[in-house]
Structure 1
Amino acid sequence: MMQNELGTAEVTAEYKYNIIGADVPDETLFKGDLLVASLSGSPRHVNSIYYYDDTGSLLFERLCGEKTYYLFRTERWILTELAKTIAGITGPVSLVELGSGNAEKTTLLIDAYVGTHGLTSYAAVDINRSILERAAENILSVSSELNFLGIVGTYQTGLAEIKSLISPKLLFCLGSTIGNMHDDELDSLLLSARSALSPGDYFLVGIDLDKETEILEAAYNNQSAILTNLCVLQHLNWRFGGDFDLFQFRHVAFHNKSLHRMESHLEAMRDQLINLDKLEFSFQLKKGEMIRTEIMRKVEINTFSEMFGRYRFKQLKYWTDLDRRYAVILFQLS
């Protein structure tokens, strides 16, 4: 079997895809010391990476179907209308996705690139191997002209792996996932992306736009959003030997207007001692104290693009839905 530039098996008719990184230890992906630090801080918080175990990923798919959760269907509409336009602008490229999920929207881009340019290479980075396997099944069921490489890992470890892919590349991150990052995390991602790409390569980003509080809070306070948020505690319990009682926490999500973001929290409904046995860590929560589980940036396009510009990513074009609720922005590395 032939080897490609990553040293992994080439996709053939008999060998549809390859997934690497399965041997990366959990300690590398889910760093307990960082979790202890974040739960010891003020305010207490956890990284949104803990949303995406198998149960959390399924709950997120359910959230995307909620009537009030406009983000998924709005981005899908934009890609349905404009994927061929994007493929025409970039020409043939290697596609690299950060946070692929089940790749339902990704198939719109892949169809456009395969239809316009023929055989296409696609690399997907996700922290959940089973989600990568589902993504491969979904994509390869609709397109046979595709080389699929799954990379189990964080965005930073995944970007290190794709450096050797042949340029030109289109790196993309959909679902407003970048909006979940704090400033230091976004800084790290953009530095890693700049290092992984070559001048002339592209970066396509889906991002939610700032809007009325009523619309935003409705999107993050439906039943699926509540269950998805509580699932974070379940993830911490099984991964780190925790004893969070999910029935003793209340979901709280609100629009922080001054910081231009939504925030999701879990509020303790009584005083309680929490133990994470595998980390040899315990902490006391008081009634009414909250653990922040996620931030969701809601941006203004020019300000967002200026931030990318500081890392040599020049905005080429952007597209929004008719109500200007959401944007897909195409950058190019100079």
Structure 2
Amino acid sequence: MAQDHPGTAAVATGNKYEIIGLDVPEETLFNGDLLVASLSESPRRVNSIYYYDDTGSLLFERLCTEKTYYLFRTERDILAEYAKDIAETTGSVFLVELGSGNAEKTTLLIDAYARSHGLTSYAAVDINRSILERAAENILSVSPDLNFLGVVGTYQAGLAEVKNLAAPKLLICLGSTIGNMHNDELDNLLLSARSSLTHGDYFLVGIDLDKETTMLEAAYNNQTAILANLCVLQHLNWRFGANFQIFQFRHLSVHNKDLHRMESYLESTQNQLITIDKLQFSFDLSKGELILTEIMNKVKVCDFSNMLSQFGFRRVQHWTDLQERYALVLCRLVDS
């Protein structure tokens, strides 16, 4: 990462578009030692980052168009209806987004801030430089006067980079991203978020609300979700020289009511020996044995707010759709 915060200077001098930061090494993102450790656990597990190679990213875009996958559309609709309210609640702020992707939904928020407060500055953090370039293209096409700063890096590295940007700030985390995190990952993110913000800064988070099993399981068991899950094995095959036979597994996504989350698995349909050549690792899979590939936490607004309060954030307001399937929660840092 750059150490002299050139992005800050870019905004100050009126440059509209800059991407800073070094590409994240693939061995950092796709750590073979961690993969071996997780596949040695009981139950066996694969980090959900293996969903996101080129094929996986395309499948996710397709998943967002599936009729049963309500998350993307619902969050977009909430933003379309309440972006102005959010902008008026926070006042003029520097927008910082974690995991921006192509920033399609974020344009709704940026447009509201531009209309309410004039020229807006926006920093996007993502591990993928090309995605940041697409985000800049999307955003600047609708907000040409915006100051755009892209930061290539992990969430923690990106947050450290934007720490010295002008306050007040609004940190944005859309797409129910935090719902895919295990407890230790979420704790690390929230600690990093708190350290990158100052007293009075805001944090806007998209969360999927706990609901009935039928709707949840329909969202994660459509045809695209099945393909995306199986493609995790394809990713492991080409990256690490594994011998997963995709047609010897079946997709399974179930609602764990006790833990308030959806869980996606790959179930072995026969006894088989898995070898991962590049990692010099092998293991036996029994028929019916499961590999956990993703968790998707489903929460209540009050429980989520209580959890955030442990990290110094106080809920200011939240917005939901009419069916209360999804929520945008706005918090403010009161204990830094």
Question: TM-score, with normalisation over the residues of structure 2?
Answer: 0.93
Amino acid at match of 2:171: L
1-structure distance, mates of 2:271, 2:12: 58
Secondary structure of 1:242's match?
Answer: coil
Give the corresponding residue for 2:145: 145
Moved more, 282-291 or 319-328: 282-291
Cα offsets for 1:178-217 (capped at 9, x unmatched): 1111111111111111111111111100101111100100
Give the corresponding residue for 1:6: 5
The sequence identity of aligned pairs, in percent, is: 73
Contact 2:15/2:147 (CA < 8 Å) preserved in 1? no
Amino acid at match of 1:211: K
Contact 1:54/1:130 (CA < 8 Å) preserved in 2? no
Q: 1:219 to 1:37 in 2, by over 3 A?
A: same
- Which runs of 5 or more structure 2 residues have no equivalent in the other structure? none
Q: Does 1:157 align with 2:149?
A: no
1-structure distance, mates of 2:167, 2:226: 42
**Within 5 A, what are the aligned runs for 1:1-334?**
6-8=5-7, 10=10, 16-334=16-334
1-structure distance, mates of 2:238, 2:116: 45
2-structure distance, mates of 1:176, 1:324: 15
CA RMSD of aligned residues (A): 2.0
Contact 1:57/1:101 (CA < 8 Å) preserved in 2? no
Amino acid at match of 1:93: V
Secondary structure of 1:150's match?
Answer: strand
Contact 2:23/2:153 (CA < 8 Å) preserved in 1? no
Cα offsets for 1:1-56 (capped at 9, x unmatched): xx997124726999652223343322222222222111111111122122222221
Moved more, 155-164 or 237-246: 237-246
Q: 1:56 to 1:207 in 2, by over 3 A?
A: same
Q: 1:14 to 1:280 in 2, by over 3 A?
A: farther
Offset at residue 302 of structure 1 (A):
0.6
Q: 1:55 to 1:131 in 2, by over 3 A?
A: farther
Amino acid at match of 2:5: L
Cα offsets for 1:238-297 (capped at 9, x unmatched): 222322222221110010011100011111122222222332222222221111111111
Amino acid at match of 2:94: S
Secondary structure of 2:307's match?
Answer: helix
- Which runs of 5 or more structure 1 residues have no equivalent in the other structure? none
Cα offsets for 1:116-139 (capped at 9, x unmatched): 222222111222222222222211
